[in-house]
Amino acid sequence: MVQKSSLSRTMVAGSGVVVLTLLVLEFVLRQWIVSPSATVPDPQFEYFQRPYSRQVVSKEGYCRTRMNRYGLNDDDPLAVKPPLRALLVGDSFTEAMQVMPPRNFGRVAESLVEGLEICNGGRSGWGPPDLAAFAELRGKLFNPDVLVVQYNDLDLREFTRPGEIHLNRSHDGYELVIPTWPARRSGVHQWGSWLKHHSALFTQVERRLDVLIHTERERLKRHFSPPPAHARENPDVSFPPDSVDMLVYLHQRLNRIYPCIIYLYIPRIYYSQIDGGGLYTPRHRQVYHEFAQRVGATLIDPTDSLLAEYRRSGQPCHGFQNSIMGKGHLNARGHRIVGRMLAEELRKRLP
C-alpha cells in the first residue's frame, strides 16, 4: 500500500516536472525562436500564412515579421497606387524570412527609388511553375506595372513534381498543371493542425520529426542500395534537358498578362572556392542567360557583384552566424546588393 502510494506520488511529481518543462519550453520558443504554425489551407497553393499573423523565424538568420492580408511577408499594398508598382514573385530568397523585413532586397530597392512600390509575392519552396501559377491566378490582385520573377539555380529541378504544380510535356509543347488541394482533411490531420496552430513546441517538434524521418529514410535507403558514384558527387545539379524551353513556355504564358517582365537570378556561391569560379552550379546560370537571350527579357544577375563584394570585404553574401556562413540564403549584405541592382533596373521603368 505504502509502495503503491509512493509510486503514484513519484508518477504525479514526474508528470508535473515534465509538464512544467514543456510549458517553459513553449514560452521560450514562442517568444524568441519559432512561431506556432499559422497556415491556412488554399485550394490551389496548398496553404498560405494566416493574414496578419506574426512570425518569428530563427532557423537561418533571424526574422520577426507580420504577414500582410494575403499571408505574404510584406505590408499591404498601398491604397493609392504609386507611379510604379512591381510584383516580385520568387521562392525563399524573395520571401526572405532570414532577415528583418526592412533588410530584404524588395524593401531595399523600394527605399532607393522614389515612387516605387514592390509587392513581395515570395514563398519558400516555390519553383518556376508555382511562380507562374501565382502570377497568373493571384497577380492581378496587386495590379502591377512590372512583374519581377526571381529564380535560383536549384529551381530548375522543380519543373516536374507530380502532385504539385508542375509542367507536363504534351504533343504541342507544355501544359501547366495546377492540382487542387482538398479543403478538408482527416480528423487526425485536423487535430494535428489544431495543435500546430496553438503550440510553437508542437510545430517545431513536428518539423524536426519530419526532417529526422526523411533523413533516416534516405540514409537507410542508401545503406541498402547505395547510389552510383556520379549521383553521390552531384546530388543537386541535374535538371531537365529542355529547361530553357520550359522557361520560355512559362514566359510566353506570363507575357500575355504582363507586358513587362524582369527576371532576377540569385546564385549560390562557394565562397571558399572562389578562385575556382566559386559558382555552385555554373551550368544553371548559363541556362537562365540562354533563356533570357531567347525571349529578349532583362535578366538581373548579381553574381559578379556578390563575388566582388566578397573580394572587397572578405565576408560572404550568403549565410548567417546561426547557419553555415557562405551557404544557404542571402544575408543582409547580399540583400543589399541585390536590392541595389533591382532598384537600378526598376528605376528605368518609372514613367
Partner 1 sequence: MIFSSIEFFVFLALVLLGLGLLRKEGGRRNLLLVASYVFYGWWDWRFCFLILASTLIDYTAGLRIESARNQTVRKRWLVVSLVANLGILGVFKYSNFLLGNFRPLFHAAGIDLPHLNIILPVGVSFFTFQTMSYSIDVYRKKLPATHNFRDFALFVSFFPQLVAGPIVRGAEFLPQLAFVHPLKRGNIHAGLDIFLRGFTKKVLFADTLAVYVDPVFSHPGAYSSPTAWMAVIAYALQIYYDFSGYSDMAIGVGKMLGFGLPVNFRHPYRSLNVTEFWRRWHISLSGWLRDYLYIPLGGNRKGTGRTYVNLMLTMLLGGLWHGASWNFVVWGGLHGVALAVHKLYMGLRGERPAPGGIVRSLLSWAATMVFVLVTWVFFRAQDFPTAWLFLKKMAFVQPRGIEWFYVQAMAVILIGVGLHIAVVLRDDRELTIDFGRPVAWGLVAVMLIVILLYAPFGNSPFIYFQF
To the nearest whole angstrom, how small is the minimum distance from the Cβ of residue 321 to partner 1?
Answer: 5
To the nearest whole angstrom, how small is the minimum distance from the Cβ of residue 228 to partner 1?
Answer: 16
Q: For partner 1, which is the closer residue by CB, 29 or 264?
A: 29
To the nearest whole angstrom, how small is the minimum distance from the Cβ of residue 220 to partner 1?
Answer: 7
Nearest Cα neighbor of 193 from 45, 41, 305, 54 is 41
Q: For partner 1, which is the closer residue by CB, 76 or 210?
A: 210
Q: For partner 1, which is the closer residue by CB, 129 or 278?
A: 278
DSSP lists the bridge partners of residue 263 as: 149, 299
**Using H for helix, E for strand and C for coil, what is the string for the chain?**
CHHHHHHHHHHHHHHHHHHHHHHHHHHHHHHHHECCCCEEEECCCEEEECCCCEEEECCCCCEEEECCCCCCCCCCCCCCCCCEEEEEEECHHHHCCCCCHHHCHHHHHHHHCCCEEEEEEECCCCCHHHHHHHHHHCHHHHCCCEEEEEEEHHHHHHHCCCCCCEEEEECCEEEEECCCCCCCCCHHHHHHHHHHHHCHHHHHHHHHHHHHHHHHHHHHHHHHCCCCHHHHHCCCCCCCCCHHHHHHHHHHHHHHHCCCEEEEEECCECHHHHHHCCECCHHHHHHHHHHHHHHCCEEECCHHHHHHHHHHHCCCCECCCCCCCCCCCECHHHHHHHHHHHHHHHHCCCC
Q: For partner 1, which is the closer residue by CB, 76 or 218?
A: 218
Single-letter code of the amino acid located at 11: M
298-327 mask for partner 1 (x: CB under 8 A)? ----------------xxx--x-xx-xxxx
To the nearest whole angstrom, how small is the minimum distance from the Cβ of residue 195 to partner 1?
Answer: 15
Using CB under 8 A, count the residues that bind partner 1: 36
To the nearest whole angstrom, how small is the minimum distance from the Cβ of residue 146 to partner 1?
Answer: 36
Give the position of cell 537570378.
265
To the nearest whole angstrom, how small is the minimum distance from the Cβ of residue 308 to partner 1?
Answer: 16
Interacting residues with partner 1 between 80 and 119 (CB under 8 A) = none
With CB under 8 A as the contact rule, the residue among 271, 280, 288, 291 that binds partner 1 is 271
Q: For partner 1, which is the closer residue by CB, 220 or 231?
A: 220
Compute φ and ψ for 86, nearest 5 degrees: -115, 140
With CB under 8 A as the contact rule, the residue among 31, 190, 273, 286 that binds partner 1 is 273
Q: For partner 1, which is the closer residue by CB, 201 or 246?
A: 201
Q: For partner 1, which is the closer residue by CB, 17 or 257?
A: 17
All three cell numbers of 326, joined, read: 557562405
Interacting residues with partner 1 between 172 and 231 (CB under 8 A) = 201, 204-205, 208-209, 211-212, 215-216, 219-220
230-269 mask for partner 1 (x: CB under 8 A)? ----------------------------------------
To the nearest whole angstrom, how small is the minimum distance from the Cβ of residue 253 to partner 1?
Answer: 39
Q: For partner 1, which is the closer residue by CB, 114 or 216?
A: 216
Distance between CA atoms of 93 and 335, rounded to whole angstroms? 9
Single-letter code of the amino acid located at 312: R
To the nearest whole angstrom, how small is the minimum distance from the Cβ of residue 19 to partner 1?
Answer: 9
With CB under 8 A as the contact rule, the residue among 31, 111, 143, 272 that binds partner 1 is 272
Interacting residues with partner 1 between 9 and 68 (CB under 8 A) = 10-11, 13-14, 16-18, 20-22, 25
Nearest Cα neighbor of 104 from 38, 57, 138, 142 is 57
Residues that bind partner 1 (CB under 8 A): 10-11, 13-14, 16-18, 20-22, 25, 201, 204-205, 208-209, 211-212, 215-216, 219-220, 271-274, 314-316, 319, 321-322, 324-327
